[in-house]
Amino acid sequence: MRMETLGYYNGKYDILEKMQVAMNDRGFYFGDGVYDASYMQNNLIFDMGRHIDRFFNSASLIGIRLDFTKEWLWDLMVKLAQKLETGGYLAYWQVTRGTGIRRHSFDVNMVPNLAIMFIPSELRDEGNGMKVRSFEDKRYGYCNIKSLNLIPNVLGAQYAESDECDEILFLRRNIVTECAHSNVHILKDGKVLTHPEGSDILSGIARYHMLQACSELKIPWEEKKFTLEELMDADEVFITSSATPCNRVVAVDDTTIKQKDYATFSKIQDRVYGEMRKELKIAE
C-alpha cells in the first residue's frame, strides 16, 4: 500500500506526522542548514539533477560537509518517491550542519542531518492569475543560498495571504528583487527582463527553464534590475517557481497590470508547462 505523505530523517522513514527531529539538531535552534525542493507527480521529480546540484552548492557555500554523494541522494529520493501515491507532491529535502549542544561556533567535522519530506501539492493552473503585494526586502546578503533562515519570507508570505494575495514582491531600495518563494520577471516591448543572479536573489530552477524557453522561442531576454515603477509600466509581469512554473501577475498593490502582450507571454508559458508535463508524464 502506497503512502499519502512521507518523512525521512537520517535513515528512518514513516508517514510525515510520525517523524521526529533531534532537539539538538542545529537546524532547530539556528536554522543552520540548507534545503531544496521540486514538484513531483507520477513518482517523478522534476529536473532533480539541477535541484540536487543547487542543494550541494548551497551546502558548500555555508561550509556544510556532506557525507553522501549526489548519486546517493538521487537514488534515495527515487526509492522514497516510489512509496507514495502517484498524485502531485512537493518533494522537499534539507540538510543541517549536525547535532550538538547549542553554541554559535561549530565542529567542522560534525556529521550532517538529512531530512526529506513529500507533501501533497498541485501545480498552479496556467489560467490562474496572481495578485501580489510589495514588501520591503530586509533580508541579509546571502539570498543566493537556499538557507533555512526564512523569517522575512515567512512574514512576507503571511502579509500577502492576510490580504488575500498570492505572493509578495521584495523591494530593496525600490528595486524589485524576487518574491517570498518565487522569481518575478517582466515583459516589455517583446523582451523579458529578470533580476541578475547574485546575492540579492535565489536563482530558481523554474527561472532557468523559463529563460531556456525564451531562447528556444527566439524571445530576447536580459538579466537587468528593474524598479517597481518599471514593473508597473511593463506589458506583462509573471512569476516562476516549482509549483508555479510560469504564471501571470494580474494586480500589484490593488492596481491592475496592463497585460498588453499575452501572445508573447502565452508562448513562454506553454513551453514551460509543456516541458514539465512531458518529463512528469502528466496528461494534457
pLDDT in tens, 156-168: 999 999 999 999 9
Cα–Cα distance, 94 to 97 (Å, whole number):
10
pLDDT in tens, 249-276: 999 999 999 899 999 999 999 999 999 9
**How confident is the model at residue 197, as a pLDDT?**
97
Residues with pLDDT less than 50, the chain:
none
Can you give the pTM of this predicted structure?
Answer: 0.96
Percent of the chain with pLDDT over 70: 100
**How confident is the model at residue 283, as a pLDDT?**
86
Residues β-bridged to residue 188: 191
Cα–Cα distance, 156 to 134 (Å, whole number):
9
Q: Which domains does the chain have, with CATH numbers?
A: 6-120 (3.30.470.10), 130-280 (3.20.10.10)
Residues classed as catalytic: 146
* Buried-state track 53-62, b at ≥16 Cβ within 10 A, e below 16: ebbbebbeee
Three-state DSSP state, 262: helix
Residue pair 239/231 in contact by the 8 Å Cβ criterion: no
**How confident is the model at residue 154, as a pLDDT?**
97
Cα–Cα distance, 95 to 106 (Å, whole number):
15
**How confident is the model at residue 221, as a pLDDT?**
98
